[in-house]
Amino acid sequence: MFDLNEKLRGLAAYQPVEGAGCIRLDANESFLPLPKEIRAAFRQVLGDLEYSRYPDPAARELCGAFARYYGVDPQSVVAGNGSDELISVIFQGFLMKGEAFATVDPDFSMYAQAGALAEARHVSIGKKDYRIDPEEVIGACRREEVKLLIFSNPCNPTSLVLDRAAVRHIVRSVEALVVLDEAYMDFSDQSLLGEVSEYGNLIILRTCSKAIGMAAARLGFAVAGPRLAEALRAAKSPYNVNGMSQALGAAALSRGGLLRQALAQVLASRDQLLAGLRAVDQALPGRFRVLPSGANFAALVLPQARRVQETLLERGVAVRFTGGLLRVTCGRPEENRRFLQEFQKILEELT
């Protein structure tokens, strides 16, 4: 009788928060619909698409639009079916069985899963009060002979940002390939995108699922120097990004002014959410702590975080419990207010 191998028996499928009809503040998506001008462009490009043909395996128009929007060399950009696919390709391609990879935890859970499927050895490096200690990371990578170091900046789920000088220090001080996941860097200002060609051991990941507001299209990007970018193109499947997503992504990224206007609205919502949490803290001092946010969500440290998350869901507000933290995505003004009202009530009830 056929049986699953050990690495599959130990895996569990990713479970999003379930709750029909809830206010969704759990997945760090954009709460904004795409601008009308971009949606009109979508209708045009989808009408012109040659559906009977395979898409461009290099996604050149899409990568070119990304490169212009972010000011990088188009040859340094590799497109993926979401960042998740690129993470899998990197782990499968750059690690041999039994080699060590390192994460700095808590961090994005899919890193560990990708490593398990690659049959690599996981080195989990802890944080101090949720913050990365560069010297601890460098020391652990050297001691454990780490071949691949991956971490998010700003971090999901802590929302904290490591300044670019510290990231440079890590990249220059380890022999490992460093995969810097900047999925949330549109909301901060410490990116290394403009410097990626200076390092032979750095891959930066970006996504259209957060600030760009295109989570449904599943578009991610890896940015690296020529040698690493070419290796990624060789390792990925030939037609990994479908033609519809390529056309939609190119249309959106070619309208940078509209995207930046939307980004400003998301940042205003984040500030509203954080201000509301400060007000709750003043009303109920010492009950929880909000970590400084460089992302589109707030990360809360509080006792009984899991219970609070479950009670919020019962009351129609979906947030996420991850990494020991309560993670709350900023939403529309009325959604933020609803969350804040229910959150304060629950804390009062738990007194």
**Are residues 228 and 278 both part of a single domain?**
no
CB atoms inside a 10 Å sphere around CB 273: 26
**Does 92 reside within a domain?**
yes
Q: In the prediction, which pLDDT does 16 show?
A: 76
The CATH number of residue 41's host domain is 3.40.640.10
Question: What is the predicted pLDDT for the residue at 9?
Answer: 86
Confidence of residue 12 (pLDDT cuts 50, 70, 90): confident
Examine the domain organization and report whether 182 and 237 are in the same domain: yes
Q: Within a domain: residue 9?
A: no
Per-residue pLDDT tens for 62-98?
999 999 999 999 999 999 999 999 999 999 999 999 9
pLDDT at 20 over 90: no
Does residue 10 sit within a domain?
A: no
Residues 254-281 pLDDT 10s: 999 999 999 999 999 999 999 999 999 9
Tokens 């410490």 appear where? 190
Task: Encode pLDDT of 174-221 as tens digits.
Answer: 999 999 999 999 999 999 999 999 999 999 999 999 999 999 999 999
Distance CA 41, CA 63 (A): 18
Confidence check: pLDDT of 222 > 80: yes
What is the 3 state secondary structure string of 74-107?
HHHEEEECHHHHHHHHHHHHHCCCCCEEEEEECC
Whether residues 172 and 271 share a domain: the answer is no
Q: Indicate if 237 and 336 belong to the same structural domain.
A: no
* E-only strand ranges, 116-195: 121-126, 146-152, 177-181
Q: Which domain CATH number covers 275?
A: 3.90.1150.10
Total domains in the fold of the chain: 2
Q: Is the bond preceding residue 292 a cis peptide, omega within 30 degrees?
A: no
Smallest CA-to-CA distance from 87 within 212, 198, 240 is with 240
Instruction: Assess whether 200 and 155 both reside in one domain.
Output: yes
Distance between CA atoms of residues 67 and 295, nearest Å: 22
pLDDT at 15 over 90: no
Percent share of the chain, pLDDT over 90: 95
Question: How large is the average pLDDT for residues 307-323?
Answer: 97
pTM: 0.96
Residue 17, pLDDT score: 76
For residue 126, being part of any structural domain is answered with: yes
Domain that holds residue 302: 18-33+258-349
pLDDT computed for residue 63 by the predictor: 98
242 shares its domain with 288: no
How high is the mean pLDDT of the chain?
96
Helix (H) or strand (E) holding 220: strand 220-224
Whether residue 264 is contained in a domain is answered as: yes
Give the residue from 191, 221, 254 where a domain finishes.
254
For residues 109 and 194, membership in a common domain is answered with yes
CA dihedral 152→331→350→315, nearest 10 degrees, is: -120
